[in-house]
């Protein structure tokens, strides 16, 4: 079995406070999440420690449209990583999502400062709505 092609560094960001509802985001390159998961777990290690559990809220990620699609589900895909009593929930941004929206979601979910020029853009507001939907889905589950 050959190794999967190297796509680049994992596009994952963690916030400084893992106790918040959405503690970061992951923007995989492809729908082959199992191929990219080792990179995410390696990136998580310095942030939260060794991951001992993973929980997801979707059945088949291959069918997810981009979060900018009119067909996007009401509940954005989420993945919870557990490590030494810490749980961090990541927004998983489907690879079909346009990269400009994904970049804003990565920053917002990790509570990273966005450039002032983006604060009033339609994509910035769309990202805020997506994260609000994700937070609401956690509070109702």
114 pLDDT higher than 80: no
Token pair for 71: 């067909």
Query: What pLDDT, on a 0 to 100 scale, did the predictor assign at position 1?
Result: 45
Query: What pLDDT, on a 0 to 100 scale, did the predictor assign at position 52?
Result: 96
pLDDT confidence tier of residue 8, bands split at 50, 70 and 90: confident
Q: E-assigned strands of 1-141?
A: 12-14, 24-26, 53-56, 78-83, 86-92
Query: What pLDDT, on a 0 to 100 scale, did the predictor assign at position 108?
Result: 93
Query: What pLDDT, on a 0 to 100 scale, did the predictor assign at position 104?
Result: 94
pLDDT in tens, 25-80: 999 999 999 999 999 999 999 999 999 999 998 877 888 899 999 888 888 999 99
Predicted TM-score (pTM) of this structure: 0.89
pLDDT in tens, 78-106: 999 999 989 999 999 999 999 999 999 99
User: Smallest Cα–Cα separation from 107: which of 95, 87, 123?
Assistant: 123
């Amino acid at each position: 079995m050959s190794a999967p092609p190297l796509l680049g560094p994992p596009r994952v960001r963690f916030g400084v406070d893992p106790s918040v509802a959405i503690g970061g985001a992951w923007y995989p390159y492809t729908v082959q999440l199992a191929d990219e998961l080792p990179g995410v777990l390696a990136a998580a290690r310095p942030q939260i420690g060794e991951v001992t559990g993973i929980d997801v809220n979707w059945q088949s990620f291959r069918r997810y449209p981009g979060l900018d699609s009119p067909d996007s589900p009401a509940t954005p895909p989420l993945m919870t990583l557990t490590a030494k009593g810490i749980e961090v929930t990541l927004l998983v941004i489907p690879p079909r999502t346009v990269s400009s929206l994904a970049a804003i979601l990565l920053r917002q979910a990790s509570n990273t400062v966005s450039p002032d020029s983006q604060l009033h853009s339609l994509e910035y507001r769309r990202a805020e709505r997506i994260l609000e939907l994700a937070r609401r889905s956690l509070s109702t589950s």
